[in-house]
Chains A and B, each alone.
Chain A
Amino acid sequence: MVDIVDIINVGLFAGALRMATPLVYASLGGIFSERVGIINIGLEGMMLTGAFSGVLATFGTGNPWIGILVSIIVGGLLGLLHGLLTVKFAGNQIVSGTGINIFALGFTAYMSQIVWGSRGASPNVQDLGTVPIPLLKDLPVVGEILGNQTPLVYIALVVVVLSYIVLSKTSFGLRIKAVGEHPAAADTAGINVYKTKYLGVIISGMLAGLGGAFLSLDHLSLFALGMSGGRGFIALAAMILGGWTPFGALGASLLFGFTEALQMRLQSIGALPSQIILTVPYIVTIVVLAGFVRRRIPPSDYKPYLKD
């Protein structure tokens, strides 16, 4: 007989927060891109490339913070590529994103063999460690869940708040909204539509890269083949479930993070086949998309905007 306390305890919630963190970053990335009218199916590939480049830079410098910086930059570059193909050349967003995903999988596997001679995994690199927060960590329950996490977990929560402020309280956020909802009107009003779109999709890539860095430099301390494991797609689901808002995405990420943490626990004690729980995020998203819970309407129609 399995004791319920072995499954549901503070450790589970701490784990849920950790598993939610990469989803938080990537789903925020999804929001910035979709708000300017670009679907970013490439989140998965941007995360994976971020995870790889972060470990590569840390391997070279011994400093994981430099690794994180490189992850963000490389993610941003892939965002720029997605922007070039879909904004400047008005290419198909789904195809471009799919190309980025295939590229990331192939390129990181190729480079890991060139650099480390192994297709499976890189050697261990310096990780970020945990940052116990004084006072908070001594609180019962809350302290055990929140008080002793790694830096990127805390930063994720800060980025959620920042994203909310940027999107709803700043003029940049207003420009993003205008460009996504009505590019022609935004153009007439003197907003640089292309520049705003580029910024949106670059920020999207940077956040996805950071989510990838969490996986390889914080959660683990190495790069493993295909380690993003579909989280970019789950992040898209979290974005939709959260109604394209930062706090909504946080909530949805926490829900999916919780299912992942729960699945790992149940699997470790053999209580329930992991495959069944792993389908939960996808089924929840389908149900939500079908409007059974509440109608979700995307923030734009995703059409390329051509001036001529």
Chain B
Amino acid sequence: MNEEVRMSQKVGQMFGKIGSKLMTLLQGAMPQLVAVFGAFLVGAIVLLATGHSPIEAYGAMLTGAFGDVFGIGQTFTQATPIIFTALAFLFAFKCGLFNIGAEGQLLFGGFTAALVGISFNGLPVFIHLPLALLAGAAGGALWGFIPAVLKAKLGAHEVITTMMFSYVALYLTSYMVNYPLKAPGWVPQTVFVAPSAELPSILPPTQLSASFILALIIAGITAYLLKRTTIGYEVRAIGLNPAAAESGGINIKRGVILALVISGAMAGLGGAGEVLGVHRRFIDGFSPGYGWDGLAVALIGGLNPLGAVLAAILFGTLRSGGMAMNRVTGVPLDIIFVLQALVVLFVAAPRLIRYLLKKGGFKW
């Protein structure tokens, strides 16, 4: 046997391996893909029933989201905060916790970041910016810490407490920017943060800021934390089986608190990214529900960090494409929230998807 044949066999094997890896990946993502497809199908029926052409609407959406540099910038800008909140949700979820308060953690983190951003002047960028980002993470972490302690020490269910804390954050920050920290003018918002606290734009002239890069880095860190560190191992062990984890010597209370604090910090960093990179100030209630989107995106992404990034980009595409679709075809923008909700409803029940696939004659 000569060298060439052996080489080609090796290459063949390699491609075979990559192919089968891709196949398993695709198979793993099957429920998600079906959910997205199903949502667009039902969305098309809604569009048809209300006198709009789904092909035109979806076409305009795609062109709008990726047709030019503005569209692309907008797509990734919209995806960025949702990556953070999705990572926040999934990290806590791995510990068996339902952190549905990412909205409040994002708002409070955005607020503390703004506070640091407006409080100092004349600091060098390499000190001020990290400080403001850190403040954002700390603000979010604090907003995760309180429900975490209530859960670990007193057994208060985190679903309700994190949700309630979201509203407290919303009203508290609203009060701050309506009264003590209000910038001159009608809009309830703070003054601009100092230029030294701004996250730079990475695709001028669009709004896309370095916050997107930060989101990707945090996604990488999340994957690393979960897979390769003791913290990640403990978190996952508690999520899988708390009793077994405890008898294995893991401190559950500590794990729960740590998971929610890290989760909150991620959401808070997302808020800081919005404040320092996009708005450059804290605007009252600037989040249109990024926290809830994060929950949806984490689930659509199959509860892994890479999937969350991809699903967030899908949501970003819907958001930025939806605005273009609205301009071009006159279809109300809100159809995109209907689409998002439909994906969530499909993802809520994997058995439903299996049932539908079976009905459709697919083997899975």
Which A residues fall within an 8 A CB radius of B? 39, 41, 81, 84-86, 89-92, 94-96, 98-107, 109-111, 113-114, 119, 230, 233, 236-237, 240, 273, 275-276, 278-279, 282-283, 285-286, 289-291, 298
Across the interface, which residues of B come within 8 angstroms of A85, CB to CB? Answer: 345, 348-349, 352
- Contact B167 A279, beta carbon cutoff 8 Å: yes
Across the interface, which residues of B come within 8 angstroms of A84, CB to CB? Answer: 352
Number of A-B contacts (CB under 8 A): 151
A89 with B349, Cβ < 8 A, contacts A275-B172, A285-B160 known: yes
- Contact A289 B156, beta carbon cutoff 8 Å: yes
Q: Does B207 contact A (CB under 8 A)?
A: no
Most buried by B among A110, A230, A240: A110
Q: Does B247 contact A (CB under 8 A)?
A: no
- Contact A233 B167, beta carbon cutoff 8 Å: yes
From A89, A276, A278, give the contact of B352 (CB < 8 A): A89
- Contact A282 B165, beta carbon cutoff 8 Å: yes
> How many angstroms from the CA of A85 to the CA of B344 in the assembled complex?
11
Chain A nearest CB from B40 CB (Å) reads 14
- Contact B175 A273, beta carbon cutoff 8 Å: yes
- Contact B174 A286, beta carbon cutoff 8 Å: no
Chain A nearest CB from B361 CB (Å) reads 19
A291 with B175, Cβ < 8 A, contacts A94-B98, A106-B334 known: no
Across the interface, which residues of B come within 8 angstroms of A91, CB to CB? Answer: 348-352
- Contact A102 B175, beta carbon cutoff 8 Å: no
Q: Does B347 contact A (CB under 8 A)?
A: yes
> How many angstroms from the CA of A92 to the CA of B175 in the assembled complex?
35
Chain A nearest CB from B148 CB (Å) reads 12
Across the interface, which residues of B come within 8 angstroms of A99, CB to CB? Answer: 296, 341-342, 344-345, 347-348
- Contact B332 A95, beta carbon cutoff 8 Å: no
Across the interface, which residues of B come within 8 angstroms of A230, CB to CB? Answer: 167
> How many angstroms from the CA of A19 to the CA of B156 in the assembled complex?
27
Across the interface, which residues of A come within 8 angstroms of B167, CB to CB? Answer: 230, 233, 278-279, 282
> How many angstroms from the CA of A240 to the CA of B157 in the assembled complex?
11
From A86, A95, A101, give the contact of B299 (CB < 8 A): A95
For residues 182 through 200 of chain B, which have their beta carbon under 8 Å from a beta carbon of chain A?
none
Across the interface, which residues of B come within 8 angstroms of A119, CB to CB? Answer: 332, 334
> How many angstroms from the CA of A100 to the CA of B295 in the assembled complex?
13
Chain B nearest CB from A16 CB (Å) reads 20
> How many angstroms from the CA of A158 to the CA of B335 in the assembled complex?
39
